[in-house]
A and B are shown apart, each in its own frame.
Chain A
Amino acid sequence: MGSVTGNFQSETPLHPAASAFLTEAFDRGWASPDKRHAESQKVAILLNEAKESLAGHLGLRREQLEILSDPAIGYHLGISGLLREGSRLLYPAISRSEVFAIAEGVPAEKLETDSRGVAQSPVGEFEDVLAWQSANAETGTIAPTPDTFAGRIFVDATASGALLPLPNRWSTALWSSRAWQGPAGVSIFAIGDRAIWRNALPHFDQRISSSDFSVPLTIASAIALDAFTADYKERRSEIRALNHEIRDFLHNEIGDVDIAGGIDTTLPHLLSFSFLYIDAEILMNELDRRGFAVDSGSACNSANMEPSHVLAAMGLLTHGNIRIALHNEVNRNEVIEFLKTLQVLIAEMRA
């Protein structure tokens, strides 16, 4: 296990509980669960246990749940699978780029978003599909539940993981195992009981999103989710207090800073903030040299030199942006050291 000291970026090492089991998972879970050999039957049992455990944490029944490898496929299955002749796709301006890509090819309407990351509340028609994001991955802002919407709802839970419940009415939903320190390349896709869903990929049988996935990594994901949930329950109030402390420090000790969302309307472990007159790329490099890994939504950090569409849609300052994740392992000393480093760097860069 590598040290996570100074790691405030969104990615984390695999949860120690999952990585401890990884070799065994590969030893025991190599066979295909669909075959009739004794080894395959054992794997089928292991997979069912993993699915049962994942489903329990995510508020699903095991039969509703499918394992996918790439989350990008989940966006397509979840959204395109609900669209019909005459459907419109409604999506908040802070949606993931995968949603924007799907919206390019279908009748669609982008929902403007306010500074709290809240999209105008759509009513829609029965045939319409709403791509609803329970929380935003960049800013951590939590969306109000789409209770007034008349159509079908796709839930993007890739950022919130198991931390937020599903809305009362949903048709399809997508999680990424990364949200709970699980392995990359494992996503969970769910189809609601009464959902009018069809498989939008070329296929033979109607209901099953048949795709190849790794059973050992699925087991690792289930173990990670179990352990992450326990850790989070224990650390939640502490992480929220750290979030509070960071916000206070940024406002009072550094200043000229734009913080995304309030503490009560964002996930407590995610924070995005922008410093006026600061070049994010230089700031990130300086932080990296001092052992702190962070992410940024500023233009200088993106491939196309465009600023983050999320920051722009929320009317937040797009330059000088960094975003941090407070992982379960983080301790207060690391955070204080990070803030003091930030304070010195910002003062130097603004001078």
Chain B
Amino acid sequence: MELDCRGMRCPLPIIKLATALKESEEVILLSDDPATLPDLSAWARMTGNFYEVVGTNKYFVKRL
């Protein structure tokens, strides 16, 4: 599933990501908010999920 959050400001991309992960085990997140990278990393640590940078403003996220 691809989730396009470009143009959105924090914390919206992370909130939308959490909702999307309820439906899909894997999500490709598109986000150009400068807070997304540090936030994804902290979010993954806090919630025990996995993420990886796969391109410019593009992240692969997997529910664990």
Contacts and interface: CB of A to CB of B under 8 A. Distances in A.
Interface of A: 256, 258, 274, 276-279, 298-300, 305-307, 311-312, 315-320
Interface footprint category on B: 10 to 19
A306 B39 CA distance: 12
A309 B35 CA distance: 10
B42 A317 contact: yes
Contacts of A277: 11, 14-15, 18
Nearest to A279: B11
Given A298-B10, A300-B9, A319-B11, A258 B46 contact: yes
Interface string B10-38: 11001100100000000000000111001
A318 B38 contact: yes
A256 B48 CA distance: 12
B43 interface: yes
Given A256-B46, A318-B35, A318-B42, 14 more contacts: A274-B42, A277-B18, A278-B11, A279-B11, A298-B10, A299-B33, A300-B10, A307-B39, A315-B38, A316-B38, A316-B42, A317-B39, A317-B43, A318-B39
B34 A319 contact: no
Nearest to A298: B10
Nearest to A274: B42
Given A299-B10, A305-B34, A315 B15 contact: no
B29 to A, nearest CB: 15
Nearest to A115: B45
B45 to A, nearest CB: 7
Contacts of A278: 11
B3 to A, nearest CB: 15
A315 B35 contact: no
A251 to B, nearest CB: 12
30 contacts: A256-B46, A274-B42, A276-B47, A277-B11, A299-B33, A299-B34, A299-B35, A300-B9, A300-B10, A305-B9, A305-B34, A306-B34, A306-B35, A307-B10, A307-B34, A307-B35, A307-B38, A312-B38, A315-B41, A315-B42, A315-B45, A316-B38, A317-B42, A317-B43, A318-B10, A318-B39, A318-B42, A319-B14, A319-B35, A319-B39
A152 B33 CA distance: 39
> Could you say which of A307, A311, A318 has the most chain B C-beta atoms within 10 Å of its C-beta?
A318
A59 B45 CA distance: 41
Given A276-B14, A319-B10, A319-B14, A258 B34 contact: no
Contacts of B11: 277-279, 319-320
A3 to B, nearest CB: 33
Nearest to B33: A299
A311 B11 CA distance: 15
A254 to B, nearest CB: 13
A196 B11 CA distance: 48
Contacts of A274: 42
Contact of A317 (B9, B15, B46): B46
A299 B9 CA distance: 9
A321 to B, nearest CB: 10
A276 B40 CA distance: 11
Given A307-B34, A311-B38, A315-B38, A276 B46 contact: yes
A298 B9 CA distance: 11
A277 B39 CA distance: 10
A312 B10 CA distance: 13
Contacts of A319: 10-11, 14, 35, 39
A42 B34 CA distance: 56
Interface string B38-59: 1101110111000000000000
A297 to B, nearest CB: 11
Nearest to A320: B11
A131 B18 CA distance: 40
